[in-house]
Structure 1
Amino acid sequence: MFKISDLARRDIINLSDGSRLGPVKDIHIDSAAGNVVALVLKTPKKKYMGLMSAGQDIVVPWDKIRKIGVDAVLVDVDAWQKK
Structure 2
Amino acid sequence: MLKATQLAVKDIVNLSDGAKLGPVKDLHIDPATGRVVALVLQAPRRYFGLVRSGKDMVIPWELVKKFGLDTVLVELEPMDRSYYEVK
Matching residue's letter, 2:68: G
In the alignment, structure 2 segments of 5+ residues that lack a partner are: none
In terms of fraction of residues, the more strand-rich structure is 1
Render the CA deviation track for 1:31-78: whole Å, top value 9, x for unaligned: 10110000000121234xxxx552211100000000011100000112
Counterpart-to-counterpart distance in 1, 2:43 and 2:75 = 16
Whether the aligned pair in 2 keeps the contact of 1:39 and 1:60 (CA below 8 Å) is yes
Equivalence map 1:1-83=2 (5 Å): 1-47=1-47, 52-79=51-78
Q: Which runs of 5+ in 1 are unaligned?
A: none
Alpha-carbon RMSD across the aligned residues, in angstroms, is 1.9
- Number of aligned pairs? 78
Question: Could you state the TM-score of these two structures normalised by the residue count of structure 2?
Answer: 0.80
Report the identity percentage: 52
Q: Per-residue deviation at 1:5?
A: 0.8
- Three-state SS of the structure 2 residue aligned to 1:28 is strand
